[in-house]
Amino acid sequence: MEQIETSETFFTNDPIDLTSLPQAEALVFEPLEKKFIRVMYAQCLVAWMSLIGIGWAGFAIADFLGWWIWALALTALFFICMSFNLTVMRRAYRFRGYAMREEDISYRRGIFFTKIHTIPYNRVQQVRIAQDIFDRIAGLYSITVHTAAQTGEGVSIYGLQKETAEQIKAYVLAKIDHP
């Protein structure tokens, strides 16, 4: 045991047994609403169709001989990439989830590069519920839990029913007011 004596107090900094730490994998993550996969698909399709439209417009404006062959080739490439993107998206959706414990909230995402973001309630500064246009059409909401960190760190959980988002917000705010 290492002790440092100062004029007023003793400071200790003992090593801890790493096997006694809680395991993040032991968290039970709640899945997102099933309708959220449709929101993800819609956002993906709008993005890819916009790229295809921009590509076609660019080739048409360039107006060089045989532009339509290049435009068709680009469109075929985009459709192949979009198909891959949609396939991966289904797997990514199944992996997303959130977990709430007594002292923190966690959100998991990513199939190639997994990220579990955990925020202790005592670091929370703001909780916000929002909807984008796709969420509104599907009747879903997102909740964002902000901290005071300069990096803008926070947890955003998408694809929630309104009641679930409001319950999470109320719980987090209660934990902030009464730790």
Q: Is the pTM of this model over 0.85?
A: no
The per-residue pLDDT for 130 is: 95
- Residue 52 pLDDT grade (very low, low, confident, very high; cuts 50, 70, 90): confident
Cβ-contact 179, 122 below 8 angstroms:
yes
pLDDT of residue 64: 66
**pLDDT at residue 2, rounded to an integer:** 56
Gap between the Cα atoms of 118 and 105, Å rounded: 6
Flag the least confident range among 18-32, 38-52, 77-91, 134-148: 18-32
The pair of three-digit structure tokens given for residue 60, joined into one six-digit string: 């048409």
What is the C-alpha end-to-end distance of the chain, expressed in Å? 32
pLDDT at residue 150 tops 70: no
Residue 136 has pLDDT above 70, yes or no: yes
The rounded percent of the chain whose pLDDT value lies above 90 is: 42
Q: How confident is the model at residue 25 (pLDDT cuts 50, 70, 90)?
A: low
pLDDT averaged over every residue in the chain: 86
Region 81-109 average pLDDT:
91
State whether residue 137 is helix, strand or coil.
helix
Alpha-carbon span 134 to 38, nearest angstrom: 9
Q: In the structure encoding, which two tokens stand for residue 80, read together?
A: 């192949």
CB-based contacts of 47: which residues, under 8 Å, 6+ apart?
none
CA distance 96 to 90: 10
pLDDT score of 96 more than 80: yes
Residue range 68-90: mean pLDDT, rounded: 86
Nearest to 154 by CA among 111, 96, 105: 105
Q: What's the Cα-to-Cα distance from 111 to each of 11, 25, 107, rounded to whole Å?
A: 43, 15, 13
Q: Do 119 and 50 touch, CB atoms closer than 8 A?
A: no
- Mean pLDDT of all residues in 62-87: 82
pLDDT value of residue 58: 77
Residue 166: name the closest of 136, 141, 149 by CA. Answer: 141
Residues 6+ away with beta carbon under 8 Å from 106: 24, 27, 29, 98, 99, 100, 116, 117, 118, 119, 155
Q: Predicted confidence band at 105 (pLDDT cuts at 50, 70, 90)?
A: very high
Phi, psi of 110 (to 5 degrees): 95, 130
